[in-house]
Structure 1
Amino acid sequence: MSVGGGRKGRVQPEMNVTPLVDVVLVLLIIFMILAPIITQAFAVRLPPKDDDKQEELDQANDPNQPLVLTVTDEQTFEVNGVTIDEPELSVRLHRMFNARPDNVIYIDGEDDAAVGTVLHGVDLARQGGASPVVFLTKKLQ
């Protein structure tokens, strides 16, 4: 601040920008040092790819054919004839629905399949993004 030289001897405030410039330059130097460190790549370990099963699923996921989830009497799940383990079912269905224009799934419970197992398959299909879920009363041709 300067005293005097103003109108009627008033104090005129002047901003001291030197500390502001110092702080900005220090931040600039910090970001210049950290930028190469932040952009470095890190190693990711991916699980091994199950080529055979994935190829079967890709062939079974023809967008022109309906997606049919079959619940067998041995409490296993099949999607268009390809057997899928229970823990993987919702994840695989989610991937299959991403490649399709609709999220319709048809549930086909075998005659000897337990009702609880079929309903569990419906829950897994809903977790995978199926909407609507349609129960089959006759076999699709």
Structure 2
Amino acid sequence: MAMSTGGNSGGPMSEINVTPLVDVMLVLLIIFMITAPLMSHSITIELPTANPKTKDSEVLVPPLDLAIKQDGSMYLNDQPVTEAELRAQLAVNAQKTPQPELQIRADKATEFKIVKKVIGNAKDSGMVHVGFMTTDAPKG
């Protein structure tokens, strides 16, 4: 208990009561003494290793390359296709095992609604793997 000694100065007390501080520090010391040994135990796990000679990597399926120009014209593997032909090709390729990836290359100025429609057609056909192709950023 802190008590002021002497004088009627009535000013602020300049002594610090350290008893609560010591109590808190002792509690923290006990908590750390109990929890520190628990943190030294390690859990060993066996991580999987990559095997590049599995069956999936031996069978390489060439991707479907779909180019979409600014005017909406489409080219599947460098051959011009209409929307109906594209849907038919996507339906045929969706049934293959393993399924090829559809790689979409759209012109920068192509409206997104055209690309969205192609993605919707691919999804409706059962295509699972759809990717977007871009060019490298100019260096310099």
TM-score of the superposed pair, with normalisation by structure 2: 0.47
From the CA coordinates, give the structure whose radius of gyration is larger. 2
TM-score of the superposed pair, with normalisation by structure 1: 0.47
> Which has the larger helix fraction?
1
